[in-house]
Structure 1
Amino acid sequence: MKRAVGESVPQIVNWHPDFAFAHTFHFCVEYLGYVPTYQQFREFALGCDEGRQMLGDPSKAVIRDLVEAGRYPQQQVQAAMRWRIGNAYYGFLREVYTLVKLRNRGIDLRVHPLADALFRVDAWVGRRALSLRVGNKKFREGLNEGRKTPPEELLADVSPPLEFATIELAAATTFGEVHVPTELHLDQAAARLGKRSDGLRPSP
């Protein structure tokens, strides 16, 4: 699927279910006991009571409303929703991959879906917060305001102040492949997160 097709329905490009994606993915992992493939996650979202309530039914409702309103053909709306949910799924895999790689480098990172959903913090150690970002020209120019507010702004008033480390990747161009940080990205993030400055040195 091409990006132009996946992002052809504005009402879906930035769509979020009431139950945050981060919560849904973490719940799915706890429910299954392992990180699911996309097909396994799809089965969870469509075939499990909790999955349907969190994601399956809300996404179907959005598709139905747009089609019934005559705004777009059903095939186009369904493709846009697959792109939206697929991107969210790949984002979750990217976070898991990064967490494992940085822990293997000795960084004792912590994660919680609330930190992700509310503050855009993908992981933290001590008073250092890590965020993963995929470059997007539209968001950098201020469009779609609200979706990509960085944690530096959301947590600016925290006292004592937090330090922030960011891994920013170039925009992905291929649907169906997980876009993950390079070893250089990970080494640089580990050096930033593991430096000694506040007595909160990560565990070896």
Structure 2
Amino acid sequence: MRETTAEDVLGRFCTSVGTRKRFEDWKADPRRAEVAPLVLAHRTRVLYHLAEEDVEGVCRDTEHALGTVKRADGESVREIVDWHPNFAFTHTFHICVERIGAVPTYQQFREFALHDADGQRMLGHPSKETIRRLVDAGCPQWHAQAAMRWRIGNAYYGFLREVYTLVQLRLRGIDLSVHPLADALFRVDAWIGCRALSLRVGNRKFREGANAGRKSRPEQLLADLEPPLQFDTIELEAATTFGQVHVPTAVHLDQAAARLSGT
């Protein structure tokens, strides 16, 4: 069975002074005391065996991940706009996939976060605690809940976009590897050989264009690897349709497949 482990990630990306230090600092961070063992033990398997109809079915059937939240409300609670629990969202999504053996609809993911023991400690309990703290500080409860729904719902749509891209590129002959350690620690959404792929959506506020960004890019984090990596990006325009999974077009995917295959 095809699988990717944390050892595979470290063997590919943790081979320079800078990347080894980044990994050791992450592992030693007290906030990662629960995170590191779970992520280092994770094995990506399910995502490699998805059919096109599996992902399209989830995109079609999932509950609206943003609910009825308006953008103005979702992005107006400063403490939640960039909120991250100790477990990165990608950790929770990947572990949920392996736990249920499929890509979850939003309602399945919510069930995992609220009722599975790992889901609770990764996302369910931290999100509830953040809402409680904000309400105690004077934020209306509906407002804090709306902002959290917006934050988590958009992260969920982002994960679906990555899975859709993985499956579509595999159909085009590009057998990409993925793992939450590579994503969260080195900002690599997927890779094949010495080529690292990033999937980005233009955003006026955050990381549109080559020189902007609230997060370090893999080109920066992995610049000192030898032999050097080649970096590729699929960059989409900002979504224009509310509540739908914003995925690359066939043209985006065909062009990316050609670049990643070296043709």
| TM-score between both structures, scaled by the size of structure 1 | 0.90
Deviation per residue, 1:122-168 (Å, 9 max, x gap): 100010000001111222479xx874221111111111111011011
Partner residue in 1 for 2:230: 163
Is 1:139 matched up with 2:186?
no
The equivalent of 2:54 in structure 1 is: none
**Rounded Cα–Cα distance in structure 1 between residues aligned with 2:124 and 2:256:** 35
The equivalent of 2:142 in structure 1 is: 75
Partner residue, 1:115: 182
Question: How many Å separate the matches in 1 of 2:262 and 2:213?
Answer: 32
Does structure 1 retain, via aligned residues, the 8 Å contact 2:201–2:235? yes
Once the two structures are superposed, residues 25-74 of structure 1 have per-residue CA deviations (whole angstroms, 9 ceiling, x without a partner) of: 1110111011110001001100111111110000001101011011x211
1:13 aligns to what? 81
Contact 1:2-1:175 within 8 A present in 2 as well = no
Q: Which amino acid aligns with 1:148?
A: K
1:51 partner SS: helix
Deviation at 1:9, TM superposition (A): 0.7
Gaps of 5+ in 2: 1-68
CA distance in 1, matches of 2:143, 2:126: 17
Q: Does 1:192 align with 2:259?
A: yes
CA–CA distance in structure 1, aligned partners of residues 107 and 195 of structure 2: 35
Match of 2:248 among 181, 188, 202: 181
Instruction: Provide the alpha-carbon RMSD of the alignment.
Output: 1.6
For the residues of structure 2 that align with 1:190 and 1:165, how far apart are their CA atoms? 10
1:201 corresponds in structure 2 to: none
The answer to whether the 8 Å contact 2:202/2:208 transfers is: no
Instruction: Verify the 8 A CA contact 2:195 2:229 in the aligned structure 1.
Output: yes
Equivalent-residue separation in structure 2 for 1:93 and 1:63 (angstroms): 25
1:64 corresponding residue in structure 2: 132
Deviations 1:87-138 (A, max 9, x none): 1111110010000000000011111110101111110001000000111122
Distance 2:130 2:262 in 1: 46
Is 1:152 matched up with 2:219? yes
Corresponding residue of 1:28: 96
Paired residues of 2:206 and 2:213 also in contact (CA < 8 A):
no
Distance across 1 between alignment mates of 2:207 and 2:113: 32
Q: CA deviation at 1:84?
A: 0.4
Deviation at 1:23, TM superposition (A): 1.0
**Does the 8 Å CA contact 1:14/1:147 hold for their aligned counterparts?**
no
The answer to whether the 8 A contact 2:201-2:236 is kept is yes
Q: Distance in 1 between matches of 2:104 and 2:242?
A: 18
Contact 1:133 1:167 in 2 (8 A): yes
- For the pair 1:46 / 2:114, whether they are aligned, the reply is yes
